Amino acid sequence: MIEIPSPGLGTSQNKDPEQCAETIRTALDVGYRHIDTAQMYENEAGVGDGIARSDVPREDIFLATKVLPANLAYDDVFSSVDESLDKLGTEYVDLLYVHWPMDAYDAGDTLPAFDELYEDGTATDIAVSNFTPELLDEARDLLDAPIVANQVEMHPLLQQEELRAYAADHDMTLVAYSPLMRGDVGDVPELQDIAEKHDSTPSQVSIAWLQGLGNVVPIPKATGEDHLRQNRSVPELDAEDMDTIAAIDRQKRVIDPDAAAWN
């Protein structure tokens, strides 16, 4: 299993070019090394500008992007990834995702393109997003490259036990998007109690819980420096805390799994 820096920085909905660039620069300057973007987010150029503004060397940054569902036909994968690299100002990405298995996605047509990008070094590693165990089985059978990560919605109210077990069995990392439930973690009483115990916030507790699971990397979103720092400074939860959170799974989603929603 490759080591994916945790936490990462999610960038969806951060579309203003200047704000995005400054967010990335600040995040790298305060210690983030994993930056997650996507063609769907329409901010790859801003991410690239932020990386260029930072003093952190490119080789020290773990940069991930995702191919838009409409661009998942074989030829479109290559042309769209070329555009992504140009916007990002880099010759390669550390992780290239199939964003959603929908629209132009066809495993037999799409995945060979990802294999070629892996083989020529354009993508250091290959990943998928929003894949079920059945879709993962199909992709693993077709790909020569290993699937190193599956990015899915995950937080204390959507704990993804089945996918966590699958990932553990197949040397994958789960990358958790919407780990703060778009801010709603603050409304969960159990997280409020644990946060008070550790003099922290429910958001910090959610990130700490995800990191404590072992093969999960959260990618919380933030723009201001204070929130960026808070998301990297989380309490160390004890076994009782972890058990309390494990008991509150309510299968609540904040992203519609049947639509190519922003994550």
What b-and-e string marks burial along 240-261, b requiring 16 or more CB atoms within 10 Å of the CB?
Answer: ebeebbeeeeeeeebbeeeebb
Residue position matching structure tokens 């500008």 = 49
CA distance 216 to 207: 10
* 175 φψ region: left (φ > 0), alpha (ψ -120 to 50), beta (else): beta
177 is catalytic: no
- For 88, the token pair is 């990002």
Options 41, 97, 105, 118, the catalytic residue: 41
Q: How many of the other CB atoms lie within 10 Å of CB of 33?
A: 18
CA distance 50 to 71: 25
Tell me 233's DSSP state.
S
* 248 φψ region: left (φ > 0), alpha (ψ -120 to 50), beta (else): alpha
- Name the nearest CA neighbour of 214 among 182, 185, 171, 152: 171
CA distance 127 to 66: 9
Phi/psi of residue 191, each to 5°? -70, -35
CA distance 48 to 87: 6
- For 234, the token pair is 């989380």
The catalytic residues are 41
